[in-house]
Amino acid sequence: MATRKTRRRVTARKARSTRSRVARRGAARGAVHAPPGFLLINMIPHSLSGETSQDSEPHLTVNPANPNMIIGTAFSPNPGGGALGPVYKSLNGGNTWIVQAIVPSVAGSGIGTGDITTSFNRTGSKLYGGILRAGTGALEFLRTNAPAFPPMTVLASRPNADQPFTHATTVPSGPGAGQDRVYIGDNDFAAPGGKTQTVDQSLNAGVGPPVAFGSVRVEKRTTVGQDGPQCRPVVHSDGTAYAAFYGWRALTGSFPANTLVVTSADVVVVRDDKWGAGGFVNLKEPPLPAGDGLPGKRVIKGVSFPFMRNGTAATGQQRIGGTISIAVHPNNSSVVYLAWGDRQPGSFLTVHVRRSTDRGVTWSGPGDLLTIPNATNAALAIASTGEIGLLCQQVTGTGAGQRWVTHLQRSPNGIVWTDLVLATVPATTPVKTFDPYIGDYDHLVAVGSKFFGIFSANNTPNMANFPNGITYQRNANFTTHTLLNVNNSSPVAASIDPFFFKV
Amino acid sequence: MPRRSGPDALAQEARFVFKGTVKKLRAATMREVPIDARTVVVRVDEVIQAPEAMSHYAGQDITVLLPAKKKVKKGQQSVFYTNGLLFGDSVAVQAVDHHEVEKIPAALALASGGDPVRNLAVKDVQARVSSADVIVSGRVTSVRVPSDMVAARAAGVADPTATGPISEHDPDWRVGEIQVDQVHKGSHKGRIAEVRFPNSPDVMWYNAPKFHPGQEGFFILHKSTRERVAARAAPTDDTGEYVALHPADFRPFDEPGGIRNVLGLPE
């Protein structure tokens, strides 16, 4: 045990010395070194040092009332193989992590769960979640109590939907004060007319069961038969609720043949000014000819991007299918930032960032506030200071030199951005076990003035892969770049792990 | 639901089975575990059945949460039937039950001393065999796209959504034709069995069997009408009579032990 702890502390010291060198090199390129208090940690606990799962598609929630309490999720199987899937839990601000099995699943599942996202309510007394359940694929809405975190209760379940994305809060004052409001964006294939973009919401989710969830169909325009999978809700404490999604208008190619391209999609933002109770129709386009008069602002029209069945070498093994994120200023619900991805010349997916200061009516442009080529998994957040954060993952290089570079871009004003490189890891190893390689999303949240984030990446213990430092809980030898089993001697193959950071 | 209490049944219900010696009562190896009368520290003497991630715990002290009304004494050696609960610097497991070592069932006694990961895999095969409608041995002669999907895909040249919703979790069904040499369980008429399986490498489907022509072995089959996946299973007219979804649903002929032992067949 003493040997292991020593090893981990040595790693931290090496991280600090490496950080200084990289900072000097990076400054000329616009990259910055990590500020004091920066933490980046591999979330796999010591007792799971032998694990080799592809722990991709991570998500994160931080208790707003106690930022020391954090829950992370990923495609991680229950290491003990029981009938519950795991979450990653920290009670000390992310400095250490344990794995706890609380997610409804099936015994022996190779994945603990399908898609999963979670969110604390405002008081941190409850944790909500949306999943595609392992074994059935059913869309399920979940709840449990904090800080005990007993197995999560299924509040609702239905088939035939995709990519639940959970945002929860609590009404701070006024009508409904104390009620938990839960918004789960999803792509509901059962929606009528092929208008599949949906926000499933409960405006009083903390009581019951039964808990009433209503499906708000936020797509109001004609689709190609469906929309894209991403629906990202976010809610301000004054009751202003936004959601962003891709409205699919035209396709070509074949999904089974991995040639499908969304040739025309609108990047749409919807808004509701009463916690979603009004059906997300408060943001309308002007009548013809300036707009079409329908609810939902088409911030960008007619973007194109591949929608891949499988990741390929050109995309760093990651399937590409768009990326979208929206964040509202915690001190001003009129200020909202939007990130989306589309295909550009020489870039399989380019991440764009723009801003609205009038509740989504008009948007910055025609140029971007920030543009990042060959990137995906955009995740926006805004701190109480007004600082904007964008987490994304970018492919650089080719062949054996290809890498996944994870960036945290930050800006005080949306104009000047500084790039903090969190990880730069080989994109060709390990070979993927399944799609998606690193996940169809990652996540960034802001609590107070701090950003908290999670991403998945190659876990090879090499300081060069983490230019601003790293801490491992699992056994690792950073000299030989080798992971070690719980006995601290048997080598363990590299795999995809979840990483937590805060800054 | 009444709890199964027989050792063999417990070994099915529990994933992590080990011989252990109780070292401390009302204690835990992890500060995250609330300590009460049901919380004990147990040294793992021998791992009998385990997932890969828990197969190297012999010699380590772990926390065991006993089921209600179950007690142990300090120094007592038992076989613990457990599932993983918490993983941090140490491990906490939830016991389904525990038995005296002397009462270890024959099957587990045989497993004791073997590879715990393999022992768990055998348990999984036993469970699939138990629930199977039909078990056959034979050879995959062909794999095809279901006929209704062929038509839809032809239409999909002009309309990519003609095959139904486009989702990254699309199972991408295939139907494998198996030339049946022998039926080991259940009743199957004819020499050909048609088995639907997901060809997708997506996270929801990647660990299901992927059949290819020439593949030989044992096929542990469940009626597709009984084991239809609820979401996006795209039930069609050409479903195949059976479906294979679990990684244990195919076992190769050259796998030593395993299903041959389960079925009572010679090596």
How far A103 CA lies from chain B's nearest CA (Å)?
Answer: 11
The predicted structure's pLDDT at residue B177 = 95
> What whole-number distance in Å separates Cα of residue A128 and Cα of residue A145?
9
> What whole-number distance in Å separates Cα of residue B133 and Cα of residue A341?
48
For chain A, the 3-state helix, strand and coil shares in percent, each to the nearest 5, are 10, 45, 50
Does the pLDDT at position A94 exceed 90?
yes
What residues pair up with B77 in beta bridges, in sequence order? B21
Cβ B165–A189 below 8 Å, yes or no?
yes
Q: Kindly state the average pLDDT of the residues A252-267.
A: 95
**Which segment of A4-18, A69-83, A321-335, A466-480 scores lowest on mean pLDDT?**
A4-18
Under-50 pLDDT residues of chain B:
1-3, 228-236
Confidence of residue A7 (pLDDT cuts 50, 70, 90): very low
3-class DSSP assignment, residue A163: strand
Confidence of residue A17 (pLDDT cuts 50, 70, 90): very low
The predicted structure's pLDDT at residue B261 = 80
Cβ A79–B53 below 8 Å, yes or no?
yes
Contacts with B, A 175-204, CB within 8 Å: 187, 189, 194, 196
The predicted structure's pLDDT at residue A3 = 36
Q: Could you tell me if B61 and B29 are in contact, meaning their C-beta atoms sit under 8 angstroms apart? A: yes
Does the pLDDT at position A276 exceed 60?
yes
Partners of residue B33 in chain A, C-beta under 8 Å: none
Neighbours of B226 (CB within 10 A): 10
Q: Could you tell me if A341 and A375 are in contact, meaning their C-beta atoms sit under 8 angstroms apart? A: yes
Q: Which residue has the tokens 């090499």?
A: A462
CB environment B81-108: b (16+ within 10 A), e (fewer): bbbbbbbbbbbbbbbbbbbebeebbebb
Best B153, B167, B249 member to test A by mutation, with max A CBs in 10 Å, is B167
Count of pairs with CB atoms under 8 A, one residue in A, one in B: 179
How far A79 CA lies from chain B's nearest CA (Å)?
Answer: 6
Cβ A321–B168 below 8 Å, yes or no?
yes
The residue of chain A with its CA nearest to that of B145 is A256
Contacts with B, A 16-75, CB within 8 Å: 45-48, 50-52, 56-57, 75
The answer to whether A401 faces chain B, any CB pair under 8 Å, is: no
Cβ B53–A101 below 8 Å, yes or no?
no
Best A42, A68, A92, A98 member to test B by mutation, with max B CBs in 10 Å, is A98
- Sheet of strand A241-252: strand arrangement: A231-235, A241-252, A261-272, A297-306
- Of A143, A75, A142, A140, give the one whose Cα is nearest residue A109: A75
The residue of chain B with its CA nearest to that of A5 is B89
Confidence of residue A80 (pLDDT cuts 50, 70, 90): confident
- Of A200, A205, A152, A149, give the one whose Cα is nearest residue A178: A205
- Residue A81 has its nearest CB partner, among B15, B57, B153, at B15
Which segments of B67-165 does DSSP mark as H helices, in order? 106-111, 116-131, 147-156
> What whole-number distance in Å separates Cα of residue A377 and Cα of residue A491?
31
| The dihedral sign for the CA sequence A215, A216, A221, A224 | negative
Does the pLDDT at position A2 exceed 60?
no
Query: DSSP letters along B207-228, please?
Result: TS----TT-EEEEEEEETTTS-
The predicted structure's pLDDT at residue A147 = 94
> What whole-number distance in Å separates Cα of residue A418 and Cα of residue A99?
33
The helix (run of H) or strand (run of E) holding residue A54 is none
Cβ B166–A226 below 8 Å, yes or no?
yes
pTM of the model: 0.93
The predicted structure's pLDDT at residue A241 = 98
Which has the higher per-residue pLDDT, B123 or A398? A398
Partners of residue B203 in chain A, C-beta under 8 Å: 56-57, 75, 111, 114, 434-436
ipTM of the complex: 0.91
The predicted structure's pLDDT at residue B75 = 97
Query: What CA–CA distances, in Å, run from A70 to A104, A105, A127, A453?
Result: 19, 21, 10, 10
CA atoms within a 13 Å half-sphere pointing along the CA-CB vector of A486: 22
Can you give the C-alpha Rg of chain B in angstroms?
A: 23
- Whether the upstream peptide bond of residue A491 has omega within 30° of 0, thus cis, is no
- Of A389, A364, A375, A255, give the one whose Cα is nearest residue A322: A375
> What whole-number distance in Å separates Cα of residue B83 and Cα of residue B95?
6
The answer to whether A469 faces chain B, any CB pair under 8 Å, is: no
Query: What CA–CA distances, in Å, run from A308 to A259, A387, A496?
Result: 7, 34, 20
Partners of residue A254 in chain B, C-beta under 8 Å: 153, 156-157, 160
The predicted structure's pLDDT at residue A11 = 43
Question: Could you read off the pLDDT of A140-188 as tens digits, one per residue?
Answer: 999 999 999 999 999 999 999 999 999 999 999 999 999 999 999 999 9
- Residue B230 has its nearest CB partner, among A138, A225, A436, at A138
Q: Kindly state the average pLDDT of the residues A242-256.
A: 96
The predicted structure's pLDDT at residue B239 = 55
Q: Kindly state the average pLDDT of the residues A325-332.
A: 98
Contacts with B, A 75-94, CB within 8 Å: 75, 77-83, 86, 91
Cβ B87–A99 below 8 Å, yes or no?
yes
3-class DSSP assignment, residue A26: helix
Q: Which residue has the tokens 């996946």?
A: B229
Q: Which residue has the tokens 């904090």?
A: A146
The helix (run of H) or strand (run of E) holding residue A3 is helix A2-27
Residues whose CB is less than 8 angstroms from the CB of residue A123 and which lie 6 or more positions away in sequence, other chains included: A64, A65, A170
The residue of chain B with its CA nearest to that of A229 is B167
Does the pLDDT at position A13 exceed 50?
no
Neighbours of A23 (CB within 10 A): 15
Cβ A100–B86 below 8 Å, yes or no?
yes
The predicted structure's pLDDT at residue A8 = 47
Strands A197-202 and A70-73: unpaired
